[in-house]
Amino acid sequence: MRFIITGRNIDITEGLKSAVEEKLGKLDRFFAPETEVNVTLSVEKERQKIEVTIPVKGNIIRSEQVSSDMYVSIDLVEEVIERQLKKYKNKIVDKQQNAAAFAQEFVEKDYDDDEVKIIRTKRFGIKPMDPEEACVQMELLGHNFYVFFNSETEEVNVVYKRKGNTYGLIEPELD
C-alpha cells in the first residue's frame, strides 16, 4: 500500500507518519500492493481528525474519525475500515471486476455477510425547484436531506443538513 499523507493545520511529524503507516499498514492484507491510501490529518480547536480514502475500482472505501488525540483517531479509523471491509466484502469484491484491487486471501476468505436489506421503498412526485427552495422544503418537513429536481441544472439533486446549521448540495456526476 502506498500512503499519501497530508495535513491541515498540523505538521506531519515522523511520529505521526509512522503511526499512520503502522496502524493502517495492518490493512495491507486486504489490498493489492499498489493500492493508494489517501490520509488527511487535521486539527480544529480540540478536534483531532483523520480522514482515510481508499479508491478501489468502482468503489471508494472511506472513514473519518475525530477525537481529542490524533493517535486515538488513527486507531479508530483503522478499526472502522477493517469492519467495513469484512462486513461488505461480498458487495465490494465483484469477482470478475474488482478483485484485482484486493489481496487474493481477502477475496477468498469468507466473512459473516450482513446483507443490506432495504425494508421500505418510498415514491413521491418531484417538482422543479432551486436548491434554496429545496432547503426550505426540507426544513418544513423536518428531514436531514431532501431529493429534488433542480430547475437550474435539470438534474435530480440532494440537499442535506450539515453541522453548524449549514447545508450541502449533492449533484450527480456521470462517469
Query: Would you state the pLDDT for residue 152?
Result: 93
Query: Would you state the pLDDT for residue 95?
Result: 47
Query: Would you state the pLDDT for residue 146?
Result: 92
Q: Which three cell numbers stand for residue 67?
A: 477525537
Pairing of strands 59-67, 47-56: antiparallel
**Domains, the chain, with CATH or none:** 1-96 (3.30.160.100), 126-168 (3.30.505.50)
Nearest to 143 by CA among 160, 118, 158, 127: 160
Query: Would you state the pLDDT for residue 1?
Result: 84
Per-residue pLDDT of the chain (175 residues; tens, 9 = 90+): 889 999 999 989 999 999 999 999 888 888 878 889 999 999 988 889 999 998 877 677 888 999 999 999 999 999 888 888 777 666 665 544 555 556 666 655 666 556 667 888 888 888 899 999 999 888 888 889 999 999 999 999 999 998 888 999 999 987 6
Residue 71 in contact with residue 78, Cβ under 8 Å? no
Query: Is 159 strand, coil or helix?
Result: strand
DSSP calls for 22-91: HHHHGGGGTB-TT-EEEEEEEEETTEEEEEEEEEETTEEEEEEEEESSHHHHHHHHHHHHHHHHHHTHHH
Gap between the Cα atoms of 97 and 85, Å rounded: 17
pTM reported for the whole predicted model: 0.59
Query: Would you state the pLDDT for residue 96?
Result: 44
Q: At what angle do helices 14-25 and 70-87 cross, to 10 degrees?
A: 20
